[in-house]
Amino acid sequence: MRLRVNEALALPLIVSPMPKVIREVALSLTALPRLDGETARSIARPLTSEDRPLVEAFRAGSPDDYLHQEMHPFIGMVLDGRLLSLAHCARRTAQVCELGIDTLPEARHRGYALAATVVWTQMILQEGRIPLYSAEASNTASLRLAAAAGYRVFARGAAFEA
The model's pLDDT over 96-123, given as tens digits with 9 standing for 90+, comes to 999 999 999 999 999 999 999 999 999 9
Orientation angle between helical segments 112-126 and 140-148, nearest 10 degrees: 60
Instruction: Assess whether pLDDT exceeds 50 at residue 5.
Output: no
Residues 11-24 have a mean pLDDT of 63
Q: Which CATH superfamily is domain 2-160 in?
A: Gcn5-related N-acetyltransferase (GNAT) (3.40.630.30)
Residue 150: Cβ-neighbour burial (10 angstroms; 0-12, 13-18, 19+): buried
pLDDT at residue 72, as a whole number: 81
Residue length of the chain = 162
The number of beta carbons lying within 10 Å of the beta carbon of residue 128 is: 8
pLDDT of 75 > 90? The answer is yes
Name the residue ranges covered by the structural domains of the chain.
2-160
Q: Is the pLDDT of residue 91 over 80?
A: yes
pTM above 0.75? Answer: yes
pLDDT tens digit sequence for 31-59: 999 999 999 999 999 998 888 889 888 87
Largest distance between two CA atoms of the chain:
52
